[in-house]
Structures are given as structure tokens and as C-alpha cells.
A and B are shown apart, each in its own frame.
Chain A
Amino acid sequence: MHERAISPAIAALRARIAQLEGDGARAREVLPFGVPSLDRKLPGGGLALGCLHEVAGGGNGAVDGAAAACFVAGIAARTQGKVLWCVAQQDLFAPGLEQAGLPPDRVIHVEAGDDKSTLACMEEGLRHGGLGAVVADIARLPMTASRRLHLAAKESGTIGLALRRWRRQAEASDFGQPTAAMTRWRISALPSRPLPVPGVGRARWLVELIRARAGESLDIELEACDGSGHLGLPADMADRPATAEGRRHNAAG
């Protein structure tokens, strides 16, 4: 991808597209994950700040949104400043968020009661500009609403994270609908890192980048956020990527 970007024709086209998108000359800041194989695929080398991003859970996670919440908490933890987290009904467990890197002093929770108010609160937070990140648990995200959020984020430079979460598994097909989000992620839980003794090791996720504007999609197996919000590359994969898949299955069985 990087080799192609050097070609002047492509570079000119990219500049033209950026101009059409209304980004102007301002270079967008990014928030790298610190995982080279993931950052390499993202335009700019990281998650763009001042944009809307969508995250959902895979399988049961579409309903409980637990892994997605940890993933989002990890991203929010690596930004500067306070974090606004809007939900319709509160079920976040603050000690769990702290273990994903987000201490309780940094998070302001808003319990909005319904989806419409949640979106309005998220937009208000994005427009303010003094926050590090704005997160919202939303089920339905229409195109118009997502575009409003994206514009609000772009104006202030705050990163907006829409945590998509549905009441029923069947409603999760809504995730296929187009939105104005910059990237779209799906986080599914995988069996944890095998330990030499009985017990549950560090959690692992299948991180799928389903859609990225001006980027490519990918899926990668990663270890869950540590206490500072950083994802980890599984050791077996870091050492021997080619056999990683086989090893995991052996270990799990």
C-alpha cells in the first residue's frame, strides 16, 4: 500500500479526494494502536482523531457489548483529557473499565434513557472540544445522525466512538447499513491465552476492521487491553505467524 502511495498520480488523486471530502489542508492527527501489523493498514498509521468510529461486538457481544466496551475503553484511555460515555441504561462496571486503562476520574457517565437522547448527548460532547473522547452505546445509527456526529467530531478534533449494541442478536444485521463513520470494527471474544496451569489467561479478541475509508479491511487476532489501554500481539503469532493458527487450536483442544 505504501509503495503505491508514492506514485504521483495516486497522491494527486488522494489530495483531490481529501479536498472533495472537505478536510482542507489540515493534516489529520492519528492515534496509533502500537501494534505494527494493525497500524500499517490504517490510513495515516493509526485511528484518525476528529472522526467518528464504529465498534460492535461479534456473536453474543452484539448484545452484551463487553469486549467492544473494553476495546473502546482502551482507545479512549490513550487520548488526553476526560472521556464522556453516554448510555441509555447504565450497565458498565467501573472497576472493569479501570482494568482496561480508563480510571474512574477520567470518565463522565451520562445515562440518557433512550437512543435519541444518547445521540444528542454524544453530539453535544463532540461539539464541546474539551474532551479526549466521546463514547456512546447506540443501537440504531441512521446515516443522518452519523453524519452529524462525524461533522461535530471534525470541527472539534475530538474522537467519537459509537459502540453499537443491540437488544437482540437478530437486530445486529443493522450493522451492515451504511454510516458516515471513518472506520468500522467488530470485536469477538476468542479463547484466552493458554496457560501451563488450569485457569483463564489474558483475553484474546478477533479484531476485524470491516470497513475503513481510504484503507483496507483486515482481521487480526490480538490480546485484550492491558492496564494502560494497549492491545498486545499474541506471543505465538509474533514469533511464528505462519503456524499461529494451528498452534492455537492445538492448545485450545
Chain B
Amino acid sequence: MTAADATAQALGLRVGMPVTKAQALVPGLVIEPADPKADAESLERLALWVLQRIAPIAAVDPPDGIVIDSTGADHLHRGEAAMLDALIGRLTLSGVSARAAIADTWGAAHALARYGADPVLIAMPGDSSDMLAPLPLEALRLSPAIPAGLRDLGFARIGDLIGQPRAPLTRRFGPELCRRLDQALGTSAEPVEPLRPKDMIEARRSFAEPIAAAETIARYIGKLVATLCEALETRGLGARRLDLLCHRVDNCVETVRIGLARPVRDPQRLTRLFCDKIETIDPGLGIEVMTLAATLAEPMTERQAASSLIEAPEPDLSGLIDTLANRVGARAIYRFAPVASDVPERSARRIPALAEVTGAGWPDHWPRPSRLLPRPEPIETMALLPDHPPNWISWRGVRRRVCRADGPERIFGEWWKRDAELVAVRDYFRIEDDAGERFWIFRTGDGEDGATGSHRWFLHGVFG
């Protein structure tokens, strides 16, 4: 047996068991013949998906892993933890169960993802050696004979090997052991060679002398973009995601990724987007090779311009959206669209800025505040139950007398979302204090039955 899923393992099946034994343990067991070639192909497809969606440098780590160089990619996903969450979440949705770890080196991440206790693990910079120490020797990516030999000598964990004299180990087991150990601990470099599928459009330029000045980098970006756009044009494609890889003299790779809302192959626009990001490239001692790849390319759809004499052409905002998205992140630019929900915080959802015009709005029979607090703030009140507005409220230490009020507007919990909301009630009031300031407050509960809410008061929004 070469692989067993979680259900199979719960039945007591283990990798390495003979098939006959497994069949004896579980009658009616379904056995699929192993197909390493198809596995490798599907792993490569998955790696390509990761390359397009997550980070500019991703590669296959055979037989069962994908390695990602997340430097310079995590901020696109708002941090490392958020990136791993999104990655694992999307893999789970498509039926792939995965474990992930972020560490200083490829070797350490490999070991922690496979032998760490948590399915999602982030090692702080510099912590890798401490976290590696309790792991078994197999975690070091060694050929199978070496861990067995080491165990004969009394080494059980990676921690036992750290700090041992290297010469006798190398003489006995060959150079592989110390190389793998150094790679895991970060004392020797191990660059990730990014996956490049056959049909990916790429432009590459190497320099006789390493370049470092911002102006020089900008000039060569312009040349690379022009070459790439020509290649895109011959295939009738436009770029949706572009990666610029700058290979430095000291064997580090600096990456810049830009995303576009619509397929684009306008050299000027693309050059400008890259030049905005030049300050994020650290040239170190100099850049010797620059590669520009269209990681995600889509067919360009030509759109008809307004031809009528009176019809004014709709201004094209996609250039602006791209510039802003590459500055603050694509998720920070959006439009709101209505959701059929009475609960205020659920009544709007965010849609992409360039999504089709929905034409829908919210029902406007009740006034709504222009500012909604991120979460309702508790206030002190004095109010007659069950359905009177408060006489006064005290919010953020200021007591206000309520002069006028409208309400209650009763909002029921959405029982189809959560059981806890089955009987939940909020009574909203719109109040005005003696200075003329208008607030949106609510009481949880209907004022009579304690099961409907705690009867505490909250301030939820401010009217203009």
C-alpha cells in the first residue's frame, strides 16, 4: 500500500502494509492501483494553480508536496497566516486535504509540514532550529538507508544531530546528510526554481554587468514589457497577472507581482504599474537576470466603442482600478451591493469594483445612518419597557437627553443562518438629542421575553 486517506487510516490501514493484509482487515475494501505518473501530473497542475493564485515562485516538491517562496507574496494576502488560511481553505473546498508550514528554509518548512503536530504552522524567523529539534530523522529528506543507519548509532531526533562533529558523519553516510542538515538550518542556500509551464509567455534579459540603479531597472522593465506585449499580441492574449523576477548576484530572487482587473497588453500601462513598485525591489549588490512572465493570461475581448453621436463613451476605469489595486491590494477596492437581509451588518456585501452594474438598491422606507460603527457599542439608558425609546442615553461617557425618537423597528434573527438566532430580536430606534445629533440605537430583546435577548442597549450608527 502506498497511500491511505483519513477514513482508511481510521479503519487501521497503514502505508506500507501488504494489500492482502489490508483486505483481510477490511472486507470489501476498494483498492486503486498506484499511478505515480498521473500523481505527478496532477501535482504539477496544482502547483501551477498555486503559482497563478498565491505566489510568483512555486515549484513541485515531489512526491507529495509543493514548495512556495512566500517572500514578497504574503502581503498580497494580508499576512502569512491569512495566506495559509486562504490556501488551505480553497484546497479543502476542492477536495484536497493539505498541511502547510511556513519556515525560514525549504528544508525546515518541508519537515514541519509533514512531521509537525499542527496542520497549519508558522515558525517565527530564527525559530526553525528549535522547532526542528524534536522531529524524527526522516523529516530531513534523506535517502531511506541513512535514518536507519543513524538510529543504529543512537541518533533518534534531528536535535541529536545538531552540534555533532561533521567529519565522522560525512565519512560514514556521505555528503548528503550534512548538506540536508545545513539546508534545513539555513546555513547553505537552496533556491526554489519556479515552475514554468511550456506555454507560459516569458521575457528574459541577462546583463553583462549587474544593474542596481532605479532608473536602469525602470528602463529594462520597459524593454521587457515591450517584448512580452509583442508575444501576447501574436497569441491574442492579455495579461491578468504578471511576475517580475530579479535574480541578484548573491543568488536571491526579488519578486514583484502585479494583478490586473481585465486582460491588458498595453506596454505603457504595464510599465507604469511595475515602475510604481520599483522601490520594493532591493537590488543588493546588483541584479544580473530579469525575467518577466505572464503567469495568468486570458484572451482579450474587444469591446465596441460608443458610436452614436449623442451617446457619450463610458470612461474606462480599469486603468485606475489596477493602479489602486497594486498600491493597496485588490481586496481593498470594491463596491457595495445589497443583500436581502434585515440585519444591518449583513445587508451589504462587497463586489469587485468593475463588476456589472446591478441596479439594485435597499428598500428606503426607513432612514438609515451614513456611518455604521464597526461593532455596536454598549450604552447606558433609562427607558420604559417594552416599546418606548429611552429618556436619555450615555455613550462614550457623555450623557444625552433624548428629545425626539422614532421606532421601534423590529428586526428578527435569521434562524436559517444560526440556531442561536431563532428567537433573537433587535428593536431599533432613531433618536435625536437636544443638540440635534441623531443616533441609531437598538435594544436586544423584545422588552418582555428574556429569551429574545439580554435587553441591553447598543448604539449602532450615526445619522447625518
Residues of A at under 8 Å CB distance from B?
59-61, 64-71, 73, 81-82, 84, 89, 91-100, 103-105, 107-113, 117, 120-121, 124-125, 128-131, 187-192, 198-201, 203-205, 224-225, 227, 252
**Contact flags B344-372 to A (C-beta < 8 A → 1, else 0):** 10011010010001111110100111111
Residues of A within 8 A of B436 (CB): 188-192, 204
Docked complex: B314-373 residues within 8 A CB-CB of A: 315-317, 319-321, 323-324, 327-328, 332-338, 344, 347-348, 350, 353, 357-362, 364, 367-373
Among candidates B327, B344, B371, residue contacting A66 with C-beta atoms closer than 8 Å: B371
Shortest distance in angstroms between B142's beta carbon and chain A's nearest beta carbon?
45
User: Counting CB contacts under 8 A, is B247 at the interface?
Assistant: no
Q: Which residue of A is nearest B364, CB measured?
A: A99
Q: Is the CB of B362 within 8 A of A113?
A: no
Q: Is the CB of B316 within 8 A of A109?
A: no
Write the chain A residue with the least CB distance to B374: A91
Are B328's CB and A121's CB within 8 A? Answer: yes
Given A69-B370, A192-B436, A198-B404, A98–B364 Cβ distance below 8 Å? Answer: yes
Contact yes or no, B370 A93, CB < 8 A:
yes
B435 within 8 A of A: yes
In the assembled complex, the Cα of A46 lies from the Cα of B30 at a distance in Å of 79
A192 touching B337 by the CB < 8 A rule?
no
Q: Describe B's contact surface by its main secondary structure.
A: mixed
| Contact residues of A: prevailing secondary structure | mixed
Task: List the interface of chain B (C-beta within 8 A of A).
Answer: 315-317, 319-321, 323-324, 327-328, 332-338, 344, 347-348, 350, 353, 357-362, 364, 367-374, 403-406, 430-432, 434-438, 461-464
Provide the bound-state CA to CA distance between A113 and B331, in Å: 12
For the complex formed, measure the closest distance between the CB of A252 and the CB atoms of chain B, giving whole angstroms: 8
The answer to whether B364 and A64 have CB atoms under 8 Å apart is no
Give B152 Cβ to nearest chain A Cβ, in Å.
57
Choose among B324, B353, B370 the residue that contacts A92 (Cβ–Cβ < 8 A).
Answer: B370
Which residues on the B side are within 8 Å of A70 (C-beta)? 370, 464
Known pairs A93-B370, A100-B464; A112 contacts B332 (CB<8 A) = yes
Question: A-B pairs with the 10 shortest C-beta distances?
Answer: A130-B315, A70-B464, A94-B336, A93-B372, A96-B370, A66-B462, A95-B368, A67-B464, A191-B436, A95-B362
Name the residue among B335, B344, B461, B462 with the largest chain A CB count within 10 angstroms: B462
Asked if residues A104 and B406 are in contact (CB atoms below 8 Å), the reply is no
How far, in Å, is B463 (CB) from chain A's closest CB? Answer: 6
Min CB distance A179 to B, Å, is 23
Kindly state the separation between the CA atoms of A205 and B372 in the bound complex, as whole angstroms. 20
Given contacts A66-B371, A104-B337, contact A124 B320 (CB under 8 A): yes
- Nearest CB on A from B440, distance (A): 9
Given known A-B contacts A93-B372, A130-B320, A199-B404, A105 and B464 have beta carbons under 8 A apart: no
Min CB–CB distance B131 → chain A (angstroms): 32
22 CB-based A-B contacts, threshold 8 Å: A66-B370, A67-B463, A67-B464, A70-B464, A94-B362, A95-B338, A95-B368, A96-B367, A96-B370, A98-B368, A103-B361, A104-B358, A104-B361, A107-B335, A112-B328, A117-B327, A125-B320, A191-B435, A199-B404, A204-B436, A224-B464, A252-B403
The distance from the CB of A247 to the nearest CB of chain B, in whole angstroms, is 16
- Is there an interface contact between A95 and B464, defined as CB atoms closer than 8 Å? no
Smallest beta-carbon distance B288→chain A, Å? 32
A105: B residues at CB distance < 8 A: 335, 357-359
In angstroms, how far is the closest chain A Cβ from the Cβ of B365?
10
Q: In the docked arrangement, what's the CA distance between A93 and B343, Å? A: 13
Contact A109 B464 (CB under 8 A): no
Task: Give A200 to B405 CA distance when docked, in angstroms.
Answer: 6
A120 touches B464 (CB 8 A): no
CA distance A189 to B344 in the complex (A): 23
- Cα of A124 to Cα of B276 in the assembled complex, Å: 12
Q: Report if A117-B336 is in contact (Cβ < 8 Å); known contacts: A105-B358, A128-B320.
A: no
- In the complex, the answer to whether B462 meets A131 with C-beta atoms within 8 Å is no
A residues within 8 A CB of B335?
A: 104-105, 107-109
What's the least CB distance linking A83 to chain B, in Å? 10
**Closest Cβ–Cβ distance, residue B362 to chain A (whole Å):** 4
The chain A residue sitting closest to B317, CB to CB, is: A130
- From the candidates A124, A129, A227, name the one contacting B324 in the complex (CB within 8 A): A124
The reply to whether A100 and B406 contact each other, CB–CB distance below 8 Å, is: no
Q: Which residues of A contact B371 (CB under 8 A)?
A: 64-66, 69, 91-93, 96
Shortest A5–chain B CB gap in Å is 34
Q: How distant is the Cα of A203 from the Cα of B437 in the complex, in angstroms?
A: 9
Contacts of B373 in A (CB 8 A): 91
Contact of A200 among B334, B347, B432 (CB under 8 A): B432
Across-interface contacts of B370 in A (CB, < 8 A): 66-67, 69-70, 73, 92-93, 96-97, 100
CA gap between A92 and B61 in the complex, in Å: 46
Residue of B whose beta carbon sits closest to that of A199: B406
Q: Contacts A99-B364, A100-B370, A121-B327; is A192 near B404 (CB within 8 Å)?
A: yes
Shortest C-beta distance, A39 to chain B (Å), equals: 21
A221–B319 Cα distance when bound, in Å, is 42
Residues of A within 8 A of B403 (CB): 191, 252
Contact A111 B432 (CB under 8 A): no
User: What is the bound-complex CA distance between A200 and B436, given in angstroms?
Assistant: 10
B-side contacts of A69, CB under 8 Å: 370-371, 464
Could you tell me if A108 and B353 are in contact, using CB atoms closer than 8 angstroms?
A: yes
